[in-house]
Chain A
Amino acid sequence: MTGTSTGVFSGLRNWLLLPSWLVIGVLVLSPVFIMLVYSFLTKEFRGGVIWDFTLAAYDQFFLDRGLFGDEPPKMEWTYINIFWRSIWQALLATLLCLLIGFPTAYFIATRPPSARTVWLFMVTVPYWVNLLIRTVSMKFLIRDNGPVNEWLLATGMISEPIHLINTPIAVQLGLFYSYLPFMVLPVYAAMERYSFSLSEAAADLYASKWFTLWHIVIPSVRPGIIAGCILVFIPSMGAFLAPDLLGGARNFMIGSLIEEQFKGTAGNWPFGAAASMILLSAVLLVLLYYTHYQSKTGIAKN
């Protein structure tokens, strides 16, 4: 009944909404629109734009017209490959996070309440720690002469340092490490609402444990799993720190590509804006699928 009654603050609604509309409208919505416009402008060499509308930025992303731009257009694979690598790395990171995150969330949900709080607290703390510091820590740890290699060498398990830094594996490790808490928390939230009497009912009806896990538990917590996957996938896709600090120049992801367009004089703002728009579109597609999934399964927002 509360939903339809006249709230005490109802009369102030528009005033209460004004600040967020203003701030989000001016500082988020209009910038995205201007960015869209920029992606159709001509670049200026000192880092900036000339107000001439052109498709050059998108052309540069997808098509190769030779060094002087006079050859017949072919597919330009450089940027598409970077984009593809971003998707691939993000998918892999999502999968890894799920493989570690789901059992962890499940395990936490089956602890007694007091232990549960401690576990949750432990998983939450890294989420609050500066991402930069965490990435730097990872870089420090896996360097050629970092503690991991030193230790492995000292114990005689390896004779040569394992070269990880500046490889795709290092980037993957960084992404996985950065966003793991994003997987555990929503899956846990869904697990917490799961009624274990369903598992008991399945066992009572002769289902094996792993059958129960796959056919009863996972379908029940699927909304949490999907939310976790999206929370890992989207920031992984646009990640900048992990590829930049752990991957080096040869493991560019789209985040690094975009960043490069706005740094110094080598930049190309329209191209950077176009790449951002392409990334944004990919993300919006994922979110669209998500809201479609939500409305299809009738899962409430909370």
Chain B
Amino acid sequence: MTGKSQDIRHYSGFLPISLICLVLLYGPLIIVMIYSFNDSPSITVWGGFSLRWYDEVFHGLEAPKFKKAAFNSFTIAIMAASTSTVIAVCTALAMLRCGNFRGKAVTFGLVSLPLMVPEIVTAVATLIFFSTIGFKAGYATILVAHIAFCIPFAYLPIAARLQGIESFYEEAAVDLYASRLQAFFQILMPLMLPGIISGFLLAFVISLDDFIITNFVKGAGVETLPTAIFGAVKQGIKPNIMAISTLLLMLSVIFVTLSYLAGKMGSRDKG
């Protein structure tokens, strides 16, 4: 190959489009991050670097409201992600380690249903369901709805990981007198751990980020971070919202990095 134009894999124009893709994906986020450090109260005029809006997030007039919302968001996300991860691990074991059985395809369809159906439909259905059975809207309804919604997100990375682990590991464990529980907890689970971690993190972020379902089932008075932000945005985009957004954004970046590292840890262990 003497040059780029000789490389039959190379199409001129694809690099600029890829760069445009990145600019489109990151541009709005980066600008919001920059403006969150803007000293000027006018949100479009640059008035120098400042952390005042971050200070306001934590100590300002609306701080208690956002702190309460953040508390709700995080506690719900932890509980929903843990529960859905446990359920996803069980389901993955049944789907990938128990041979073929009737209803396997149906189960896969059911588990991935929340991924396929528009979120607003799930939200409406869940709201109507809670109202029919008389489950009072609030913290608990959000939690329960999130558990169901998070299962497919936890399931996919866990199942992908389990698929890559040959079944002779648990066979070797059982061959060496381990019970099924011992074979799972001492052998299979440590091997699945990278998948379990990324499944948990994904479910956690999905729960933390969810707006539509939460908005439907939360009832009056209970807010999570997204619903609180949405409510505030309806009054206009204020700098403190940009500060909160930046914080949440950084959190997401941390999580995706962690999940990426978990995956890397997995590929190193595989050999």
Q: Do chains A and B touch in the complex (CB under 8 A)?
A: yes
Chain A residues with CB under 8 Å of chain B are 2-13, 15-21, 23-25, 27-32, 34-35, 38, 48, 100-101, 103-104, 106-108, 110, 119, 121-126, 128-134, 136-141, 143, 145-147, 150, 177, 180-181, 184, 196, 199-200, 203, 209, 212-213, 234-235, 237-241, 245, 255, 258-259, 262, 269, 272-273, 276, 279-280, 283, 287, 301-302
Q: Given A21-B110, A137-B245, A141-B31, decide whether A13 and B209 contact each other with a Cβ distance below 8 A.
A: no
- 9-37 of chain B: CB within 8 A of chain A: 9-11, 13-15, 17-18, 20-22, 24-29, 31-32, 35
Q: What residues of B have a CB within 8 angstroms of the CB of A18 in the complex?
A: 90
Q: Is B91 at the interface (CB under 8 A from chain A)?
A: yes
Q: Digitize B216-255: 1 where CB-to-A-CB distance is under 8 Å, 0 elsewhere.
A: 1000000000100110010001000110010011001101
Q: What residues of B have a CB within 8 angstroms of the CB of A255 in the complex?
A: 118, 120
Picked from B27, B116, B215, B242, the residue with its CB within 8 Å of the CB of A283 is B116
Q: What residues of A have a CB within 8 angstroms of the CB of B86 in the complex?
A: 19
Is the Cβ of B229 less than 8 Å from the Cβ of A100? no
Question: Can you show 19 pairs from A to B with CB atoms below 8 A apart?
Answer: A8-B97, A8-B174, A9-B170, A16-B90, A19-B90, A19-B91, A38-B128, A121-B260, A128-B205, A133-B29, A137-B32, A138-B28, A180-B21, A180-B24, A181-B25, A238-B120, A241-B211, A273-B128, A283-B118
Q: What residues of A have a CB within 8 angstroms of the CB of B9 in the complex?
A: 110, 196, 199
Q: Is B2 at the interface (CB under 8 A from chain A)?
A: no
Is the Cβ of B121 less than 8 Å from the Cβ of A126? no
- Complex: how many Å from CA A15 to CA B171? 20
Q: Given A104-B21, A126-B29, A129-B249, decide whether A203 and B128 contact each other with a Cβ distance below 8 A.
A: no
Could you tell me the dominant secondary structure of chain B's interface residues?
A: helix
Is the Cβ of B245 less than 8 Å from the Cβ of A279? no
Is the Cβ of B113 less than 8 Å from the Cβ of A28? yes
Q: Given A132-B229, A134-B28, A262-B216, decide whether A24 and B113 contact each other with a Cβ distance below 8 A.
A: yes
Q: What residues of A have a CB within 8 angstroms of the CB of B14 in the complex?
A: 103-104, 106-107
Q: What residues of B have a CB within 8 angstroms of the CB of A11 in the complex?
A: 180
